[in-house]
Structure 1
Amino acid sequence: MIKISIADNQPVVMHGISCFFKNHSKISISDTVYHLKDIEESLHQNKVKILIIDIELEGLHSISALKKVIQNNLDTKLLIYTCATEKLFGLTSLKAGAAGFISKKAPLEDLEAGILKIADGKTAFSDGVHKNALTSSYLNNERMYRKLSSRESEVLRYLISGKKNNEISELLNLNEKTISTYKLRLLNKLHVTNLIDLVNKAKTLEIV
C-alpha cells in the first residue's frame, strides 16, 4: 500500500481527495495538514511514501522552504498539487527536488496516475506540459522562464497577485530594497518597462 499525506489550505480539496482515494486498492491517506509548520511532525510520525503539497500552502513562502522539506525528508517524495501555473513553478520545483507537478484543474485520475508513477520510481508531470512541450511557442517561452531565478519567480508571483513591495518583503523575509532590485530584474528579463506591462506579459505567456 502506498501511504500518502496531504498538505493543503483548502478543506474542500482535502475532502475531495480523501473521498476519491477511499477504499483505494493501492493508495491510502495517512494524514492531512494545513500549514507548513505541521509537515515535519506529520512525516516523522506517519512515514509516508509521498506527500501531496500545494505550493501555496499556508506558511510556504519560498522555494527554499520547499527544498528544505525535501532535504529533511529524503524517504518521502513530494508531489506538487496546486492551482499555481506549472510554466512558472514546475521547473523551480523540479530543481528543488520535487518528484512531480500536477494542476488542480486536472482530473483526480491524473493525481492518481502521478502518485503511482512516483511510487514506481518515476517522475510525474501533467498532460498539459507534455502537450505544450511539442509546440514552438512553449519552447520559446521556456527559454524566458529559464532566465528567472527561483526567487525572481516567487517575487513575480506576488507582484502578479497585487502585493506591494513591503508586503512581499515581509512574506519572503527580505529587505524592501532587495524586492525592488528583484522587480527591476524582472522588468529587464521580461523586456518590459513598468509593472502593468509586466503583469500583461505574464498573462500573454500564460503564467497567471
Structure 2
Amino acid sequence: MKSALIVDDHPVVRAAIIIVLQRLGFKIIHEASSGNEVLSLIREHNPSLVILDLRLPVLDGLEVMVRIRTNNLHCKVLVFSSHEPLFYQERCRRAGALAYVTKTNKLEELSRAISGVMSGYSYFCALADSGVMSPAQLTEKQMIEQLSDRELSIFVQLAQGKLNKTIAEEMHLSHKTISTYKTRLMKKLGVRSVVHLRGFALRNHLL
C-alpha cells in the first residue's frame, strides 16, 4: 500500500499535497511541520515517498536529506520548494532527492513528478542557460555554487535577518560556530555586512 510523509511548515500547502496524493492512490499519509521530526517518522511509518520542503524550522531540507542518507533510511524523496532551482536542484540531487518541483508550478506538475518517482524515474526541471545572465550575475552564481550546503543554509538565514544566536539554537550549533560561518561567508562572497549579504541573496532569488 502506497504511503507518504509530507514535510512542510504550511498547513495549507500540506492540505493541497494531500489532495494530490489521494488522487494518485495514496491511502496512508503522514505529516510533519519541522525538519527534526522527519527521521523518527520515517523509522516509525516507513513511507514509500517523502515530499520535502527545503525551508523548514530546526533542520532545513538539505540537512534532512543528509541525515536520511547517513542513517541508511530507504525512501524516495521528492523536493517541493519555493527555492530557486538554479541554486538548489543539483544540491538536492546530490543529497539523494529523486525529483525537484517548485511551488510556482501548478499542482499537476507535482502530480506528474510523484507518478514519475513512484514509477522509478527521476523528475527535475530544465534550467535556463546560464549564458543569458550578465557577467556580474554569473560570477555571483559561481560564488554561491562553491558554498557547502551548510554554508548556503546559514547564508540564507543570515540574509533573512536571523540573529547568530537564533541560527545556532535552531541548527544545534554553538554561537561561535555560526560566527565563524558568518565571517567565512562574507569573505567568500566579498561582502562587508549582513545588509550586503541580504542584497546578494535578493539579487540571486534566494529569498
TM-score category of the 2 structures, normalised to the smaller one: 0.7 to 0.9
Q: 1:109 to 1:179 in 2, by over 3 A?
A: same
TM-score normalised per structure 1: 0.82
Written as runs of structure 1 = structure 2, the 5 A alignment for 1:20-169 is: 20-24=20-24, 27-34=25-32, 35-44=34-43, 46-61=45-60, 63-72=62-71, 74-126=73-125, 130-133=126-129, 135-137=131-133, 141-169=140-168
Deviation of the 1:78 alpha carbon: 0.7
Structure 1 distance, partners of 2:70, 2:35, is 15
Q: How many residues align?
A: 203
Structure 1 distance, partners of 2:18, 2:64, is 26
Q: 1:201 to 1:165 in 2, by over 3 A?
A: same
Alpha carbons 2:62, 2:92 under 8 Å: kept: yes
Q: Which amino acid aligns with 1:132?
A: A
Structure 2 distance, partners of 1:30, 1:133, is 40
- State which drifts further: 91-100 or 164-173: 91-100
Alpha carbons 2:35, 2:60 under 8 Å: kept: no
Structure 2 distance, partners of 1:149, 1:169, is 17
Alpha carbons 2:98, 2:117 under 8 Å: kept: yes
SS for the counterpart of 1:123 is coil
Structure 1 unmatched ranges of 5 or more: none
Alpha carbons 1:100, 1:125 under 8 Å: kept: yes
What's the C-alpha RMSD, in Å, of the aligned pairs? 2.6
TM-score normalised per structure 2: 0.82
Structure 2 distance, partners of 1:63, 1:200, is 23
Structure 2 distance, partners of 1:32, 1:158, is 28
Aligned residue for 1:15?
A: 15
Alpha carbons 1:6, 1:32 under 8 Å: kept: yes
Structure 2 distance, partners of 1:182, 1:62, is 19
Q: 1:200 to 1:111 in 2, by over 3 A?
A: same
Structure 2 unmatched ranges of 5 or more: none
Deviation of the 1:71 alpha carbon: 4.2
Amino-acid identity (%): 26
Deviation of the 1:95 alpha carbon: 2.1
